[in-house]
Chains A and B, each alone.
Chain A
Amino acid sequence: MSVVRHNLRSRGRISPAIWLVLPSAVLMIFLFAYPMAEGFRAAFVDPDTATVSLRNWDRMVSDPQFWAAVRNTLLLIVVVIPLQFVLALTMSLILQAKPRGSAVYFYLWAIPLAVSDLAAGLVWLSIFADRGYLNSVLLSLGVQPFSWLSYMSPGTQFMAVATAEIWRATALVLVIVVSGLQGIPKEYDEAASVLGATYWQRLWQITLPLLRPSLQVALILRTILAFQTFAVAQALTGEGFPLLVGETYRWYSALNNSNVASAYALVIMGISMLTAFIYLHVLRDQSRQVTS
């Protein structure tokens, strides 16, 4: 009797689980799945004939700025990310040694996390501009000022963008590494040290391997975000230092071509996914694969 009633009641009703999942599912479909599907469509459809074609990709690749943007984006990642990791690791090891005022250092070093890309770019613009702080200091020291951000000297342009990026985004790595370090029980370090390991031996053989999960997360996050670097370069150099996301923006707004912009967006997504996959594969942790 009760079984029948239960069946009757549940037939016309939707399970509460579905109601609970629904809001986020709807949100994901509207804000994520739909735009992505639309992006794919736009990238592979010829805007004039409305047929499937590779014309947008052709236009993207034949644009002289495209390869410059690919090169600059990769160069920035290759130079900036290792430096950021070395810096963040050094800073978090200093914090872990708990010197006087270490809590203050942590908050000071984490401040850039709260600064927006564009604001960070503008801050560094005020330093590197022709009449900026750096040149003022140089002038007062009797050194000839230099046009750091001029298109005539791509080397200093790159250096300025890289410096600003390191300043802005190292804090993210720092926060992840600090929390990772705090999660490692100190007995491991103590055991190694009693067994005769010096500080550097402990760092390389104990701390860093145990920190691997955190480093992996930081590396993936940082790399994906680095592919999206845009506002800093825009603020410092205008169009002088093209990056992939900057080009996407230029095609979408200035050139009013959402199809080629979509192709750019897909390129960025593809590279990001590939890198994340490679990281996960190369850095996978054998000791966690419990087989028996």
Chain B
Amino acid sequence: MADIKIENLVKIYPGSSELANDNVSMHIADGEFMVLLGPSGCGKTTLLRQIAGLELPTSGAIAIGGRDVTYLPAHKRNLSMVFQSYAVFPHRRVRHNIGFGLAIRKRPRQEIEEKVAWAAELLQLTDYLDRFPAQLSGGQRQRVAVARAIVVDADVLLMDEPLSNLDALLRLSFRSELKRIVEQIGTTTVYVTHDQSEALSLGDQVAVMRKGRITQLGNPLDVYDWPADTFVGGFIGSPPMNFFDGSISGGHLTIGGNQISAPVGLDHLGAVRLGVRAEAIRVADPGTPDCLEGEVLVAEPLGASTLLTVMLGGHQLKVQAKPTIRTRSGDKILLAIDPEAIRVFDPESGVSLLGATRA
């Protein structure tokens, strides 16, 4: 086990002028679960592959456990990895797939057998040990790939979108299983995903990436609650954060024609972009003061809640209402927004005007 230190990493692929990674620095503590999150093409997989040694950086440095590995070949880094395509060797039985890393490290036969049995038990593969990958389902192959990665006593466990090829139901159940397993073995883990719910549910830390840079790095709930800019707010959360234009002056927040109290400490900012999570907006009873009036466009009952799309001052807002609400499109409703839940961004750059004070 070891920590990972990445300093000023820059990666430009040959024949391209774009920076796949643009001056990325981060520190991943020993035993930490770090999630690299971002849309496709943001450089998260490139970063992971450089940690793995499958790509070499253009400049910058990577150290694992205090050892500089920047230009060290992959097989000398003592890592293990789960690939998006699983990459389970088709010509080896499950048993020999799982034991591959141990056999390569020339461990005694008995130790290999014990560890393979342990991992197979953990991932419910015991009955399939003598099968070939062609005889397994996608979910089982995925388990083999994870088992193969956890049996070796690696310093760092790398995972490249390991759940993205599974169907929705399997993904959900395997996600919690994966979290349990990784917590149990306690290895430093770097996990790449484009799925924000995976990032929130799995990570100790989340690094949100965009265009090769890290936009925000922090605890998942902080990133969810206090997005560093409108991109992060819009990328994380389902539904994404609501954004609309308004202005703040004299302790009042003006949206469309409505006025409510401004968040504490922000008195005179002028024109701003506001961000509010769907669950921070409440449908209020008629006559409640300090509310905004909007018109329901769509009401989608989801079981645990009802998702409303509300037209307010020329903007569409997503509102997470109680499942018991009875409303139809065209209805006028009152919305109460908790001032503490309002996030304020620069209307031009989208950068948070609160983030600096909070983080």
A interface with B by C-beta (< 8 Å): 185, 187-188, 190-198, 201, 206, 209-210, 212, 285-288, 290-292
Given the interface contacts A196-B105, A197-B104, does A191 sit within 8 Å of B87 by beta carbon?
A: yes
Q: Which of B77, B87, B90 contacts A287 (CB 8 A)?
A: B90
**Contact flags B86-113 to A (C-beta < 8 A → 1, else 0):** 0101111100000011001100000000
Q: Which residue of B lies closest to A192 (CB)?
A: B100
**Nearest CB in chain B: distance from A120 CB, A:** 36
Given the interface contacts A201-B104, A288-B134, A292-B135, does A190 sit within 8 Å of B91 by beta carbon?
A: no
Q: Are A194 and B133 in contact, with the CB atoms below 8 A? A: no
Q: Are B133 and A195 in contact, with the CB atoms below 8 A? A: no
Given the interface contacts A195-B101, A197-B104, does A188 sit within 8 Å of B134 by beta carbon?
A: no
Q: Cβ of B216 < 8 Å from any Cβ of A? A: no
Q: Which residue of B lies closest to A210 (CB)?
A: B91
Q: Which residue of B lies closest to A201 (CB)?
A: B104
Given the interface contacts A187-B87, A188-B89, does A194 sit within 8 Å of B135 by beta carbon?
A: no
**Contact flags B116-151 to A (C-beta < 8 A → 1, else 0):** 000000000000000111110000000000001100
Q: Which residues of B contact A188 (CB under 8 A)?
A: 87, 89
Q: Which of B38-93 contact A (CB under 8 A)?
A: 52-54, 73-75, 77-81, 83, 85, 87, 89-93
Q: Are A285 and B87 in contact, with the CB atoms below 8 A? A: no
Q: Which residue of B lies closest to A212 (CB)?
A: B91
Chain B interface size band reads 20 to 34
Q: Which residues of A contact B90 (CB under 8 A)?
A: 210, 287
Given the interface contacts A187-B87, A287-B90, does A194 sit within 8 Å of B134 by beta carbon?
A: no
Q: Cβ of B158 < 8 Å from any Cβ of A? A: yes
Q: Are B91 and A209 in contact, with the CB atoms below 8 A? A: yes
Given the interface contacts A196-B105, A210-B90, does A287 sit within 8 Å of B85 by beta carbon?
A: no
**Nearest CB in chain A: distance from B8 CB, A:** 24
Q: Are B79 and A194 in contact, with the CB atoms below 8 A? A: yes
Q: Which residues of A contact B135 (CB under 8 A)?
A: 290-292
Q: Which of A196, A198, A201 contacts B78 (CB 8 A)?
A: A196
Q: Which residue of A lies closest to B82 (CB)?
A: A191
Q: Are B89 and A195 in contact, with the CB atoms below 8 A? A: no
Q: Which residues of A contact B192 (CB under 8 A)?
A: none
Q: Are A196 and B87 in contact, with the CB atoms below 8 A? A: no
**Nearest CB in chain A: distance from B48 CB, A:** 11
CA distance A166 to B158 in the complex (A): 46
Q: Which residues of A contact B6 (CB under 8 A)?
A: none
CA distance A292 to B78 in the complex (A): 36
Q: Which residues of A contact B158 (CB under 8 A)?
A: 194
CA distance A288 to B132 in the complex (A): 8
Given the interface contacts A185-B85, A292-B135, does A194 sit within 8 Å of B91 by beta carbon?
A: no
**Nearest CB in chain B: distance from A282 CB, A:** 16
**Nearest CB in chain A: distance from B12 CB, A:** 18
Q: Which residues of B contact A210 (CB under 8 A)?
A: 89-91
Q: Which residue of A lies closest to B93 (CB)?
A: A287
CA distance A244 to B89 in the complex (A): 43
Q: Cβ of B342 < 8 Å from any Cβ of A? A: no
Q: Which residues of A contact B75 (CB under 8 A)?
A: 193-198
Q: Which residues of B contact A196 (CB under 8 A)?
A: 75, 78, 101, 104-105, 152
Q: Which residues of A contact B87 (CB under 8 A)?
A: 185, 187-188, 190-191
Q: Are B100 and A287 in contact, with the CB atoms below 8 A? A: no
Given the interface contacts A210-B90, A287-B91, A288-B134, does A190 sit within 8 Å of B104 by beta carbon?
A: no
**Nearest CB in chain B: distance from A190 CB, A:** 5
Q: Are A195 and B134 in contact, with the CB atoms below 8 A? A: no
CA distance A287 to B91 in the complex (A): 5
**Nearest CB in chain A: distance from B352 CB, A:** 37
Q: Which residues of B contact A190 (CB under 8 A)?
A: 52, 54, 74, 81, 83, 87
**Nearest CB in chain B: distance from A183 CB, A:** 12
Most chain B beta-carbon contacts within 10 A, residue among A191, A288, A290 = A191
Q: Which residues of A contact B148 (CB under 8 A)?
A: 195
Q: Are A191 and B91 in contact, with the CB atoms below 8 A? A: no
Q: Which of B54, B85, B104, B131 contacts A195 (CB 8 A)?
A: B104
CA distance A287 to B105 in the complex (A): 24
Q: Are B100 and A194 in contact, with the CB atoms below 8 A? A: no
CA distance A77 to B80 in the complex (A): 44
Q: Which residue of A lies closest to B133 (CB)?
A: A287
Additional A-B contacts beyond A197-B100, A287-B93 (15; CB < 8 A): A185-B87, A190-B81, A191-B89, A192-B104, A193-B74, A194-B52, A194-B54, A196-B75, A196-B105, A197-B104, A206-B89, A285-B91, A287-B134, A288-B134, A292-B135
Q: Which residues of B contact A292 (CB under 8 A)?
A: 131, 135
CA distance A46 to B85 in the complex (A): 65
Q: Which residue of A lies closest to B101 (CB)?
A: A195
CA distance A152 to B101 in the complex (A): 57
Q: What would be 29 A-B contacts, judged by CB atoms less than 8 Å apart?
A: A185-B87, A187-B87, A191-B81, A191-B83, A191-B89, A192-B89, A192-B100, A192-B104, A193-B74, A193-B75, A194-B52, A194-B77, A195-B75, A195-B100, A195-B104, A195-B152, A196-B101, A209-B91, A210-B90, A210-B91, A286-B132, A287-B90, A287-B92, A287-B93, A287-B132, A290-B132, A291-B135, A292-B131, A292-B135
CA distance A197 to B78 in the complex (A): 10
CA distance A285 to B152 in the complex (A): 28
